[in-house]
Amino acid sequence: MKFCNNCKVNIRGQNKYCPLCQSELDAENETENIFPNIPTIFHKHNYFIRVMILISVAVSVICAAINILFPTDIWWSLFVAVGIACFWVSISVAILKRRNLPKNILYQVIILSSISFLWDLLIGWQGWSLDYVIPIICTLAMAAMAIIAKVANLQAADYLIYMLIDVVLGIIPLILVFLNVVNMRIPSLICTVSSIISLTALILFEGENMFSEIKRRFRV
Amino acid sequence: MSLRNDEWNRLDNVANIFPPTSDERNTKVFRFACELYEPINPKILQISLDKTINEFPFFCSVLKKGLFWYYLENSDLKPMVKSESKPPCSPIYDRNSKNLLFEVTYYKSRINFEVYHVLTDGTGALQFLRYLVYNYLVLSHKAEFENKTPILDYDASITQKADDSFQKYCTKGFKLFNNKKVSAFQIKGTKIPENRIKVIEGVVPIKKILDEAHKYNTTLTAFLTAVLMCSIYKEMAEREKTKPVVVAVPINLRKYFPSETTRNFFSLMDVDYNFKKNSDKLEDVIQYLNENFRRELTKEKIKEKINTFATLESNIVTRVTPLFLKNILLKLSSRYLFSDTTASLSNVGKVEMPDEVSSYIRLFDVFISTSKLQICCCSFKDNLTISFTSAFLSTDIQKNFFRTLTDIGISVEISANTID
């Protein structure tokens, strides 16, 4: 035990200085540490991401500069910048939600669908986002979630709600078919058919779990 | 017996405030620890933990987000004992991964129980740690306790432990905001990097400090609060003295309403003292606090307080606001909704263990993460452990506090964590 003459207190541990007044203590009477020494943490994994962001910004700015130097009919550099931004939105969500795959998949469905719809609008509406991209993403997500749930042996609470939301989203293409905004009907119909089959399967096999999950998730 | 896997619980009334207001700095994690006289054997500790968790199945919960509210879902994750490797009160709840809301770690001869405040309060955490330490000691000294197993005096069923006592005792009242809103003096200074906290603990003989408090005809909590206020006052700049020093003191509601719950069941009381308008002598501060405590600590006043938050929670507008919006609103309004404080002081009270195992235990201590300055204290046998946690590099307030004690002849034994 050490003693601080200024504070008149006994001090346990390996402190060289008094924790209260910072005056020097006798080096003798080394006792055991009270708390483990925990070194400063360096975030190494952040380094890679920072380099990637720097490269992204550099590419966008250089493209814009080239575009200004050699003007063309369209501002192609804008597409580069928007494309890189979209990539980052998707990737950052994927990294943040990496520990919860079903949620990650659902978020990607929403993000990629919105991005494709906006791109379609941006480059003059041709309808490919509604015809192909959105129904295909929804269908793939449904399949992926079902496979992951089986393979990783997930519990109902860990995937049901995300699966259910995706299934409900999968019915939207059918509405669009009826509203005649879709030119190519096959992907939309495949999506809706898988949705209805999945929903039936969910109710039949996980019905009780599903309703209790809905109840707790939507408790007001 | 364990709870069913798909069992879930709503958060208790005060727990709702913690997820939106906790961050890397103020993690709302607190540690209750017990130091023995012998080094910890991790294998025995793990067995004791498995036994303890069977008694407290509610602690095996994960925090999940619904559309409108957070909720606790019973989980089959197994808590694992680990060697202490993180700074004290590091974040436990990670919204991106599913993990338990408490951790049991050990370092040399100490067992640490760290827990996210959503799950429990100091009294609840203490019950868990008492069971854990009790199980550990009975297991590691098998031979001695073979014939006579000591008995731990905590008689509560599993449902009583997981009881939401706010639901039970609050009635609807209408008094949404505190009438007086004072802007409290704020401690300023450089904060410790990496969101770490400085822990300084002082062990003092309980009898001496109680005698001192009784000299002023007051309680231990009021006495310590007064000493803390005076210690803060000494560090205030002249122009800041117009602002009052406000200390938040949690009240254990189990003392006023019968309950055996291990979930949150506390309320906060703010005491403020203006050193510009009043005397700066310790005895005068104590007299003022004495009055204040007597006035505030009545069943009616306390009931009014818990009804306020219950009303807020049961309000239909609050209920139908989606969670993400609720979180943003709570984060923005927490400074106005909850009082503006300078520091906090939480007295968890006396820790009691069966006599047979007490001789193996050196001390109990408790402290909590903070973005300001906080004292937590608890007593065991003849000692009171006063633990300061602080987000600031400067230790002047702690120095003033403990020097006040040594000046009146109370011996203090200090231990502290080191920050490089």
Residue A94 and residue A195: Cα distance in Å, rounded?
24
User: What's residue B6's pLDDT?
Assistant: 65
Task: Give the angle A201-B99-B22 at the CA atoms, nearest 5°.
Answer: 120
CB nearest to B86's CB, from A21, A38, A212: A38
Residue A213 and residue A211: Cα distance in Å, rounded?
5
Q: For residue B2, name the pLDDT band (cuts at 50, 70, 90).
A: very low
User: What's residue A30's pLDDT?
Assistant: 65
User: What's residue A2's pLDDT?
Assistant: 86
Domain locations in chain B as residue ranges: 8-156, 175-416
Task: List, in sequence order, every residue forming a beta bridge with B249; answer none if it has no partner.
Answer: B269
At residue A12, does pLDDT exceed 70? yes
- Mean per-residue pLDDT, A112-123: 92
B interface test, pick of A1, A20, A153 with most B CB neighbours within 10 Å? A20
> Burial level of A90, CB count in 10 A (0-12/13-18/19+)?
middle
DSSP-assigned states of every residue in B130-199: HHHHHHHHHHHTHHHHSS----------HHHHT--HHHHH-------S-S---------SPBPGGG--EE
Task: List, in sequence order, every residue forming a beta bridge with B246; answer none if it has no partner.
Answer: B272
Residue A69 and residue A66: Cα distance in Å, rounded?
5
Residue B298 and residue B233: Cα distance in Å, rounded?
29
pLDDT tens digits, B185-197: 999 999 998 889 9
- Mean per-residue pLDDT, B234-242: 90
* Interchain contact, A36 vs B84, CB within 8 Å: yes
Pairing of strands B383-390, B373-380: antiparallel
Please name the fold of domain B175-416: Chloramphenicol Acetyltransferase (3.30.559)
- Mean per-residue pLDDT, B201-222: 94
- Mean per-residue pLDDT, B46-68: 92
pLDDT tens digits, A34-91: 888 888 766 666 788 889 999 999 999 999 999 999 988 888 898 899 999 999 999 9
User: What's residue B420's pLDDT?
Assistant: 66
Closest by Cα among B133, B135, B100 to B119? B100
Q: Give the helix ranges, DSSP H, for A70-152.
A: 76-96, 101-122, 128, 134-151
DSSP state of B411: -
* Interchain contact, A218 vs B66, CB within 8 Å: yes
pLDDT tens digits, B355-369: 889 999 999 999 999
B5 touches chain A (CB under 8 A): yes
User: What's residue B173's pLDDT?
Assistant: 61
Which domain does A9 fall in, by range?
Answer: 1-39
List of chain B residues whose C-beta atoms are within 8 Å of the C-beta of residue A37: 418, 420
User: What's residue A216's pLDDT?
Assistant: 87
The edge-to-edge listing of strands for the beta sheet with B110-116 is: B82-83, B102-107, B110-116, B29-36, B361-368
Residue B60: phi and psi, rounded to 5, are: -85, 60
User: Residue A157: inside a domain, yes or no?
Assistant: yes
Pair of tokens at residue B196: 């770490």
A interface test, pick of B70, B75, B415, B420 with most A CB neighbours within 10 Å? B415
Lowest-confidence segment of A81-95, B109-123, B301-315 by average pLDDT:
B301-315
User: What's residue B306's pLDDT?
Assistant: 80
User: What's residue B334's pLDDT?
Assistant: 73
At residue B13, does pLDDT exceed 90? no
User: What's residue B170's pLDDT?
Assistant: 77
How many Cβ atoms are within 10 Å of B268's Cβ, its own excluded? 15
B404 touches chain A (CB under 8 A): no
Residue B285 and residue B134: Cα distance in Å, rounded?
40
Residue of higher predicted confidence among B3 and A91: A91
User: What's residue B39's pLDDT?
Assistant: 95
A164 touches chain B (CB under 8 A): no
B205 touches chain A (CB under 8 A): no
Q: For residues A148 and A159, is the Cβ–Cβ distance under 8 A? A: yes
A153 touches chain B (CB under 8 A): no
B37 touches chain A (CB under 8 A): no
Residue A170 and residue A202: Cα distance in Å, rounded?
14
First to last CA, chain B: 46
SS (H, E, C) B313-362: HHCHHHHHCCHHHHHHHHHHHHHHHCCCCCEEEEEEEEECCCHHHHCCEE
User: Residue A117: inside a domain, yes or no?
Assistant: no
Pair of tokens at residue A66: 């080239």
Question: How much is the mean pLDDT over chain A?
Answer: 89
Residue B293 and residue B291: Cα distance in Å, rounded?
6
- Mean per-residue pLDDT, A157-172: 90
How many Cβ atoms are within 10 Å of B8's Cβ, its own excluded? 22
Q: For residue B312, name the pLDDT band (cuts at 50, 70, 90).
A: confident
- Mean per-residue pLDDT, B37-53: 95
User: Residue A158: inside a domain, yes or no?
Assistant: yes
Q: For residues B129 and B351, is the Cβ–Cβ distance under 8 A? A: no
In angstroms, what separates the C-alpha of B409 from chain A's closest C-alpha? 10
A–B: how many Cβ contacts below 8 A?
111
Q: For residue B89, name the pLDDT band (cuts at 50, 70, 90).
A: very high
Reported as type and span, the H/E element at residue A159 is helix A156-169
- Mean per-residue pLDDT, A139-166: 90
* Interchain contact, B402 vs A7, CB within 8 Å: yes
At residue B128, does pLDDT exceed 90? yes
CA B285 to each of CA A169, B245, B377, B409: distance values in angstroms, whole numbers, following the listed order: 64, 11, 20, 20
Q: For residue B14, name the pLDDT band (cuts at 50, 70, 90).
A: confident
Q: For residues B73 and B8, is the Cβ–Cβ distance under 8 A? A: yes
How many domains does one find in chain A?
Answer: 2
Reported as type and span, the H/E element at residue B413 is strand B413-416
At residue B147, does pLDDT exceed 90? no
User: Residue A83: inside a domain, yes or no?
Assistant: no
The residue length of chain A stands at 220
Residue B329 and residue B316: Cα distance in Å, rounded?
15
Residue B415: phi and psi, rounded to 5, are: -135, 150
A35 touches chain B (CB under 8 A): yes
User: Residue A214: inside a domain, yes or no?
Assistant: yes
User: What's residue A13's pLDDT?
Assistant: 86
Q: For residues B166 and B10, is the Cβ–Cβ distance under 8 A? A: no
Lowest-confidence segment of B117-126, B306-315, B398-407 by average pLDDT:
B306-315
User: Residue A96: inside a domain, yes or no?
Assistant: no
At residue B174, does pLDDT exceed 60? no
Location of structure tokens 């923005």: B332
List of chain A residues whose C-beta atoms are within 8 Å of the C-beta of residue B71: 216, 219
Q: For residues B325 and B106, is the Cβ–Cβ distance under 8 A? A: no
Look at the alpha carbons of B351, B357, B362, B368 in this order and tell me if their dihedral is positive or negative: negative
User: Does B8-156 match B175-416 in CATH topology?
Assistant: yes
User: Residue A189: inside a domain, yes or no?
Assistant: yes
At residue B1, does pLDDT exceed 50? no
User: Residue A133: inside a domain, yes or no?
Assistant: yes
* Strand boundaries in chain A, DSSP class E: 2-4, 9-11
User: What's residue B396's pLDDT?
Assistant: 94
CB nearest to A38's CB, from B71, B85, B402: B85
Residue B69 CA, chain-centre distance (Å), reads: 24
User: What's residue B3's pLDDT?
Assistant: 43
Lowest-confidence segment of A9-13, A168-172, B180-184, B243-247 by average pLDDT:
B180-184
User: What's residue B337's pLDDT?
Assistant: 61
Question: How much is the mean pLDDT over chain B?
Answer: 89
Residue A162 and residue B129: Cα distance in Å, rounded?
37
Look at the alpha carbons of B35, B41, B42, B45 in this order and tell me if their dihedral is positive or negative: negative
Radius of gyration of chain B (CA): 21
CB nearest to B406's CB, from A8, A14, A96: A8
- Mean per-residue pLDDT, B326-354: 85
First to last CA, chain A: 57
What per-residue string of b and e applies to B332-363 under the rule 16 or more CB within 10 Å gives b?
eeeeebbbbbbbbbbbbbebebeebbeebbeb
B interface test, pick of A11, A101, A220 with most B CB neighbours within 10 Å? A220
ipTM, two decimals: 0.82
B62 touches chain A (CB under 8 A): no
Superfamily name with CATH number, domain B8-156: Chloramphenicol acetyltransferase-like domain (3.30.559.10)
User: What's residue A42's pLDDT?
Assistant: 61
Q: For residue B88, name the pLDDT band (cuts at 50, 70, 90).
A: very high
Residue of higher predicted confidence among A75 and B419: A75
Can you list the pairs that B320-323 forms with residues at least 24 positions away whose Cβ atoms lie under 8 Å? B320/A220, B320/B68, B321/B68, B322/B67, B322/B68, B323/B65, B323/B66, B323/B67, B323/B68, B323/B69, B323/B70
Look at the alpha carbons of B314, B319, B324, B326 in this order and tell me if their dihedral is positive or negative: negative
Please state the pTM of the whole predicted model: 0.88
At residue A130, does pLDDT exceed 70? yes
Location of structure tokens 């400090």: B209
- Mean per-residue pLDDT, A203-212: 87
List of chain B residues whose C-beta atoms are within 8 Å of the C-beta of residue A39: 420
